Amino acid sequence: MNAASSFDWWQFISDVGSTVIGVVIGFGLSILIHRLEIRYDERKEQNTDRMRRLACAKHIMASCAANIETLINFKIQMSVPLAQDAETLRPPVISRDIHQIIESSSNLPAMFQGLTKIPKSELPQQAELLSLIDEIPMLIGLVHQSSASIDNLNSTLDERNMLLQQHAMQNIQGLNAAAIIYYYTMILSQSDNVIMQNDIGLFFNQLLAEQVDSYAKHEYKGVKVLKFSINEPQKQHMPPNDYVKGYRDQFRDFSEQVKPKEMFTLADSYSRNGEFK
């Protein structure tokens, strides 16, 4: 019997078939494992992004709460007495009644008191805010206004303090009627600016905190996050909701939106009218 006649074709075919099946199964498993790894990485990245957004939201609410507390205390201690003195001084200044101006000014301690600049709790930088821009389009604008309002208040305080120093120095040398009208008009105007900037700061920090709070309550249900609220004694010192026109109209109420499902199939990805849910 020669070698060719002794060759076992069935065994050969069986071995080749087993090899092919093993290769196919191995290839299929490698594709499955690769896809699972991709899905794991995607989920990990999504979770990282979600936690990044949560951290940014917490940062904003904590900073706004600190700024509002500072601004309210400043308003109670400084702006309210200043507003009362301003209303007393305004009529004689408008009427240019020199005698009444001098007489009134002797009983207005807040009007001629130098005021210390207030500290500011820093809000997130723009790079950190980018994680929330898609959810809250007006976020960067609100953060800018909230931060700038405190800077503007402090700049106004500096200008007012310099004006008071100039007035005190000139008053030692003696002021004529024109100088009295000038200084008292300027001091009154700067005092009005302090009061206004104080309320602008409160308005923007409150609006920003409420906007992010609405988002966090909707997006992170069941997750412990900071909750923003203003207690009753403080509410009486807050400016009206429409103090700066137009901004409140852009508020996005997330409580009115349906949170998308975490897991869904292709079948339930579309509503009955064919729109994406």
**Residues 45-68: tens digit of each pLDDT:** 445 677 888 888 889 999 999 999
Are 42 and 71 found together in one domain? no
Are 26 and 77 found together in one domain? no
The whole-chain average pLDDT of the chain stands at: 80
pTM of the prediction?
0.75
Percent of all residues in the chain with a pLDDT value above 70, rounded to a whole number: 72
| Long-range contacts of the stretch 125-133 (C-beta < 8 A, 24+) | 128/56, 128/59, 129/56, 131/49, 131/52, 131/53, 131/56, 132/53, 132/56, 132/57, 132/212, 132/215
Domain assignment of residue 4, yes or no: no
Domain assignment of residue 101, yes or no: yes
Domain hosting residue 115, numbered range: 56-262
Are 76 and 21 found together in one domain? no
Q: What pLDDT does residue 229 have? A: 75
86 pLDDT above the threshold of 80:
yes
Q: What's the domain count of the chain? A: 2
Q: What pLDDT does residue 161 have? A: 95
Distance CA 38, CA 122 (A): 38
* Model confidence band, residue 269 (pLDDT cutoffs 50, 70, 90): very low
Are 81 and 216 found together in one domain? yes
Q: Are 93 and 188 in contact (CB under 8 A)?
A: yes
Q: Which position has the higher pLDDT, 270 or 150?
A: 150
Are 106 and 206 found together in one domain? yes
Q: What pLDDT does residue 266 have? A: 33
Percent of all residues in the chain with a pLDDT value above 90, rounded to a whole number: 42
Alpha-carbon Rg of the chain, whole angstroms? Answer: 34
Are 38 and 60 found together in one domain? no
Distance CA 90, CA 148 (A): 28
Q: Which position has the higher pLDDT, 225 or 45?
A: 225
Domain assignment of residue 276, yes or no: no
Domain assignment of residue 87, yes or no: yes
Are 208 and 153 found together in one domain? yes
82 pLDDT above the threshold of 60:
yes
Place of tokens 């008009």: 185
